[in-house]
Structure 1
Amino acid sequence: MLLTVSGPPGSGKSTTAAALAEAFDLEHISGGDIFRELAAEHDMSAVEFNKLAEEDDQIDRDLDRRLRDIALERDDVLLESRLAGWLAGDAADLRFWLDAPVDVRAERIADREDKPVDVAREETVTREASEAKRYMEYYNIDYSDLSIYDISLNTARWGENEVSEIITSAVEAYDPEDDEGKYPVEGVRYDF
């Protein structure tokens, strides 16, 4: 089984992905973890590394190629990244999009990174704009197009346990033998 969990910073991707991976005994691959490791290797914050990625497209392309290869080559994987659903394409069994209002997400980020909420909000908005621009430029992906996702969920409405229960229930109800809903992701350029 290949599941993808996508969404903006602070949406609950990592928490939900970890719970899903554990519930279904899937290998959890986090694009955010890989990106933060790369940023740390360059002695940069994620925001600084995003700015560098605007100038050096190879940063995104290398990360995205790695994630797409994992999606296409491995079994029993949960792929978590902003573009996971797009990168996995029709190889994904189910694609989930998690989101919450920016103020909610900024509070979550501020709490986990021990920074003021206004700083977290500004960094988040800047980072999202940077990523959306790059995704469109590199791959012709409109980050705001949620039509490829099987479920889009506002995580501000439920606690993390309830979000995990909702997504877990969807996976349990999924029958891959009766999957007429798979469709290719069209219009995307995978020119890594």
Structure 2
Amino acid sequence: MPADACKRFSTVRQPGEGWSEWLQFHTPAEAFKPFNFIYMGDRQNDILSLASRSLRQALQSVANPALIVHAGDLVSQRDDLIHDDQWGEWNQAGGYHYAMLPQVVAIGNHEYLGSESRILSPHWNRQFALPDNGVAGLKNTTYFVDYQGVRFIVLDGTAALDMGTLAKQTEWLESRLKNSPARRNIVVNH
């Protein structure tokens, strides 16, 4: 073999040349199979100093969690300000765990900008690739996902109360529950 052959076929790259660390994950079973998950709610305050510790403690306490459910108010942005810093802290607090465990996220009132206008933070859609199976007009904040025989149905409590979508979400929820093939149904909202 020519001396330069090894060099041509080498895939080893130096740090900073575009490779990330290895991030492993497990795909769910097709049929019902019991699993553990972590439920986190209102982690909006002191994200790096406190919320990160609660997540680490949960990860140590729950044997092999299959996913993490977040029940809204991931950040505490207020008024009409877009808080890049808080979203950065949220990602840093979860670190590689967020890349290795599926996240079921419900939106809270603090993921909206302004208490009157209720405009969705631009970070929401950039952070999460959610199923496109929710309520018409709320597909980026309502959805369902089936995981090993359990259906997680996510609602938007802020839109229901502040934006007049309670009836639409109620009808959609009833339909999802009625037609659910799951052994268990879990409804998540803030």
Q: Hey, which of these two has a bigger chunk of strand by percent?
A: 2
Greater Rg over alpha carbons, structure: 2
* Higher RCO (C-alpha 8 Å, min separation 6): 1
TM-score for the superposition, normalised by structure 1: 0.33
